Amino acid sequence: MTQRLLDILAQGFTRILIPGLTMTIPMTVLAFSLAMVVALAIALAQFAKLPVLTGFSRFYIWVFRGTPLLVQLFVIYYGLGQLGLKLPAFVAGVLALGLNEGAYCAETVRAALESVPVGQLEAGECAGLTWWQSVRRVVLPQAMRTAFPPLGNSLISMLKDTSLVSNITVAEMFVAAQRMVSYYYEPFAIYLEVGVFYLFFSTLITKLERWGEKKLNAYEYK
Amino acid sequence: MLELQELKKSFGGQPILKGVDLSVEKGDVVAILGPSGAGKTTLLRCVNFLEPADSGHMTFDGVTYDLGHMSRRDILALRKKTGFVFQNYDLFRNKTALQNVTEGLITGRKMPRAQAEALGMEMLERVGLADKAGSYPSQLSGGQQQRVAIARAMAPQPQIIYFDEPTSALDPELTGEVLAVMRDLAQSGMTMLVVTHELSFAKNAANKVAFMEEGQVVETAAAHSFFAQPQTDRAKEFLRILNQT
């Protein structure tokens, strides 16, 4: 390996890591939080069989799972911008990622809620809890334990999907790499380097997920 | 204390309960006997609104309700005055034995935590499981789980406890400990309505028997006279077969 290439990679270390820490990670955290709120609301509306909201939930999932994330990103940033709602690129990115992943996670959470035996809900109601109290105190904690590993998957795929917001001018890790490539013209080394950063962050998430799963295993179901 | 009139329920056009009449006095321990498919479990589930009855009336503690038109509020209020013990225990799997007992007190009835926990420990002691207060259901045997479930049902001091075949999911050697707890509860004066296949419990602990067949209570009698002199042919047949085994 030439000295020049080593210099470029060393420079890349900070030039890629800094947008990773200031853009990619905050965007992932914010968008995933939004996705969780959306997923819970949509899954619970269906679980409660609320008449109008169930219909809306199915429609929402149909639209956001059925169209590409990149298209959603462009509609929210450029499309709404044209209509006069000019969102900062970072905000548009968080919205698109969160709303999109929320649709997938909603199905994960709904399946997990439905996997909890119906007797758990009935026992809650017979113990004098309302339907909602039974769900919140008994069914949902069990469902979230089931949903935890697949939601971890979603978090990792969201981390990687943040690279798409490079298309709407957010200067995250991938944009930093692209800029370096166009300056030094070393695509192989630099794109590999940014790939290693994504791998590093997703490894951290995996470790975090394992740790969380262990915590949740304090009680074991049959 | 509890009176049912003409309770009807069908599933998909198939009548399961065809007008059940039943009367339970305060302090009664009523065993509901009958062949499989007679509607015993469905009756109990209708009485606590786990299944909505199609029609009929229920008088509970002096107030009469139209079972075909129950409001959520009335259902919740009635459930707070009753306890329910399930065939499969259905303990909250994410909560310890003590939390299982206190959840309905703290969340459902807004009892202060310290008071609820003291009461919960007292209940676990009564079923002989105070040392398992911190155990999760998966760490308990079936018999222990069902005893915790009984403690959970007792804790709010309900006016009646419904038991839905409380021992039929248990190994024979574990039914004894559950039946002992139930006998103890019966002797303490608790009003109980028990769907059961345990004839010994019906004989020894119940004071009344309601015999069900094909969606109706066909015979109600004092327990001793039901076993000594069943009136209907179907009840005679039922007891004859059971006594053979």
Written as six digits, the tokens of A145 are 């334990």
From the CA of A104, how many Å to the nearest CA of chain B?
26
Q: Does B169 contact A at CB distance below 8 Å?
A: no
Written as six digits, the tokens of B161 are 């406890």
- DSSP annotation of A129 reads -
Query: From the list B84, B95, B107, which residue is nearest A126 (CB)?
Result: B84
pLDDT by residue (tens digit) across A47-97? 999 989 999 999 999 999 999 999 999 999 999 999 999 999 999 999 999
Is 60 exceeded by the pLDDT of residue A213?
yes
From the CA of B118, how many Å to the nearest CA of chain A?
18
pLDDT by residue (tens digit) across A98-120? 999 999 999 999 999 999 999 99
- DSSP annotation of A117 reads -
Quote the pLDDT of residue A222.
44
Domains within chain B, CATH numbers bracketed: 9-55+175-245 (3.40.50.300)
Pairing of strands B216-222, B208-213: antiparallel
Residues with Cβ within 8 Å of B162's Cβ and at least 6 positions away in sequence, in order, are: B44, B47, B48, B82, B83, B84, B85, B192, B193, B194
C-alpha span between A136 and A123 (Å, rounded): 13
Query: From the list A117, A125, A128, which residue is nearest B156 (CB)?
Result: A128
Full-model pTM? 0.90
Q: What is the rounded average pLDDT of the residues A167-177?
A: 93
Residues B91 and B148 sit within 8 Å (Cβ to Cβ): yes
Indicate yes or no: CB of A130 within 8 angstroms of CB of B83. Answer: no
Interface of B with A in 16-55 (CB under 8 A): 48, 50
Amino acid at A59: F
Domains within chain A, CATH numbers bracketed: 3-216 (1.10.3720.10)
Pairing of strands B63-66, B55-60: antiparallel
Neighbours of B103 (CB within 10 A): 25
- Positions of chain B with pLDDT lower than 70, given as ranges: 245
Indicate yes or no: CB of A138 within 8 angstroms of CB of B92. Answer: yes
C-alpha span between B92 and A135 (Å, rounded): 11
Query: From the list A129, A219, A221, which residue is nearest B108 (CB)?
Result: A129
Q: How many residues comprise chain B?
A: 245
Residues B211 and B20 sit within 8 Å (Cβ to Cβ): no
Residues B207 and B4 sit within 8 Å (Cβ to Cβ): no
C-alpha span between B71 and B221 (Å, rounded): 33
Neighbours of B11 (CB within 10 A): 11
At B35, give phi and psi (nearest 5°). Answer: -70, 160
